[in-house]
A and B are shown apart, each in its own frame.
Chain A
Amino acid sequence: MALTEREVARLAELARIELTPEELRLFAPQLDVILDSVASVAQVATDDVPPTSHAMGLTNVFRDDVVRPGLTPQQALAMAPVSEDDRFRVPRILDEE
């Protein structure tokens, strides 16, 4: 399955993580070994086995829809990297193309 540096770079792009060239060199063989070691799972689990996505299998869990106090704008913005006029300030969201 050999995970190359290029593939790791592509996955990093999908995951929105900037990786340095050194990280790419370090991670590619490590991730390759990890993926190799876990690949055996695919051989044992056959089609007739249903998947488990959750330990206890609870479904349709509801609670009453009641109004509760929420965070004030000050509380919500207290840990924001940057805020302005009671709002989160973010970098421009459109790429120049």
Chain B
Amino acid sequence: MSQADLNARIITATAAELGRAIAAGTWTSVQVTTAFLAQIDAVDDRVNAFVSVDREGALAAARRVDERIAAGERLGPLAGVPIAVKDLLCYQELPTTAGSRMLENWTPPYNSTVVQRLLDAGLVILGKTNLDEFAMGSSTETSAFGASHNPWDLDRIPGGSGGGSSAALAAHEAPLAIGTDTGGSIRQPASVTGTVGVKPTYGGVSRYGIIAMASSLDQCGPCARTVEDAALLHEVIAGHDPMDATSIDQPVPAVAEASRAGDVRGMRIGVVRELGGEGYAPGVEQRFDEAVELLRAQGAEVVEVSCPHFDQSLSTYYLIMPAEMSSNLARYDAMRYGLRVGDDGQNSAEQVMRLSRGAGFGSEAKRRIIIGTYALSAGYYDAYYGSAQKMRTLITRDFDAAFAQCDVLVSPSTPTTAFKLGERIDDPLAMYKADLCTIPSNLAGNASASFPCGTAPEDGLPVGFQVMAPPMADDRLYRVGAALERALATRGTSTVIPQLPGSLAEPSQEA
């Protein structure tokens, strides 16, 4: 096989296939890693998925895995498989910027639990992926290091905040990626790039060493191109961590098994009435309805459910999230790490703090800090933050009532397909609406995922199918996702992501 053909085979393979090929000695991890690094070289100048690429570190890690396999060691199913990590997770070998000038060139002194688990499982970290500043946004346009571009159409957003991870997957620059989801930052990017993204139950994956945005909502999860790949990665990163007080001390749901079963016979699937209708693109609704029908044909029972307080979830979120993030971002005070400006020997610590925060934070961070400061200030606390916390209870009760009738709930993942870069950046409310369907699960803390369900007829862009499951029933997401993936493949609906010009997935004719 020519080098070009080998590269094409590798970068279009699933992570599960790569893991098996590496374990069997068909391909080495070095070959696999080299192919993805070459694809990054070939396309990332246009996609801008990566903030940093660790060529030497990745190849050294790949060599170590190859040596262990050659010595007869039996490793996990993803050993030697490359992965891209959202630049919000601390990793000692690379700067961790959170997409902010505030942390430009900051290299953490320790690894996040998730990164450590990836390394322990033999995964090869290719680099860090772009995100909206401090994971605030739905487009990656608020990143201090420039927006990422959607490989389906480079003029469009790859979603956010985890647009670097979704774009890296869609551009075949990595077979797996790590995301974090506070209001939809794993699921909405997955939706608009035709990839798989899972937000585990809150507390299912450790937040230790992940830069905090809104601590009661933030959750880390797997991103991939197939349901099984996401499940395999889920099993690597999930599980109790004493370093995170919100980590759940229970066995990880059997997600890989569920992704292989993909059986929805007898499952009760609830379509949420409030997540559709006005404001939803026709092609999004059409593909969503078709996906529901496919699941019905697979033996699921479909019912309609009403969650009346979901209409308030966007408002609730935009009070709770800024309140928590304004508190979390208070730690960037220019004293012990991060950007410091104006330290001229005259300015006081407080003046330096104000100047540094003014220079280090971008517009969206400032907007949200001001909103959060307002919502938490004396005289407004009860009306805003207090009311939002009560609304959170009502939204959770809606979920409880729905899950009493259904095993899972479903909706579109986001109301539209990928919008154009620049289209919503000056209109925060329009931008926030991208998270309309994903926010309820963050507020209630349950498990939720987005799976590809074809492309919208009007623009040919991918549509995401959201599945929501009760807390610690993450396996149901994979059961439904895998059934949908198979039904779409059987029906011949293409979920294949188009290749960019110059992509190594399509070796030139003469090669």
Contacts and interface: CB of A to CB of B under 8 A. Distances in A.
Contacts of A17: 354, 357-358, 361, 366, 369-370
Point out which of A12, A19, A58, A90 has the most chain B C-beta atoms below 10 A from its C-beta.
A90
B445 A56 contact: yes
A25 to B, nearest CB: 13
Interface in A10-25: 11-12, 14-20, 23
Contacts of B493: none
A34 B366 contact: no
B387 interface: yes
B377 A55 contact: no
B394 A44 contact: yes
Interface in A62-76: 63, 71, 75-76
A69 B359 CA distance: 35
A54 B428 contact: no
Given A40-B312, A41-B387, A34 B429 contact: yes
A90 to B, nearest CB: 5
Interface string B212-232: 000011000000000000000
Interface in A43-97: 44-46, 49-56, 58, 61, 63, 71, 75-76, 78-82, 88, 90-96
Given A81-B338, A90-B349, A45 B387 contact: yes
Nearest to B444: A55
Nearest to A26: B363
Contacts of A37: 315, 318, 429
B348 A92 contact: yes
Contacts of B445: 54-56
A12 B14 CA distance: 48
A45 B391 contact: yes
B373 A11 contact: yes
Contacts of B369: 15, 17
Contacts of B187: none
Nearest to A83: B336
A20 B318 CA distance: 24
B394 A93 contact: no
Contacts of A92: 348-349
A96 B349 CA distance: 12
A58 B202 CA distance: 11
B370 A38 contact: no
B352 interface: yes
B161 interface: no
A91 B391 CA distance: 43
Contact of B394 (A26, A45, A55, A63): A45
Nearest to A28: B370
A2 interface: no
B351 interface: yes
B343 interface: yes
A50 to B, nearest CB: 6
B490 to A, nearest CB: 37
A49 B316 CA distance: 14
A76 B109 contact: yes
Nearest to A42: B387
Contacts of A44: 309, 312, 387, 391, 394
Contacts of A80: 336-337
Interface of A: 3, 8, 11-12, 14-20, 23, 26-27, 30-31, 33-35, 37-42, 44-46, 49-56, 58, 61, 63, 71, 75-76, 78-82, 88, 90-96
7 contacts: A15-B326, A27-B367, A34-B318, A38-B318, A52-B392, A58-B203, A79-B106
Given A91-B343, A91-B347, 19 more contacts: A15-B326, A15-B357, A15-B370, A17-B354, A17-B370, A23-B363, A27-B366, A31-B374, A40-B312, A42-B384, A49-B394, A52-B390, A55-B217, A61-B245, A61-B246, A78-B107, A81-B336, A82-B343, A88-B335
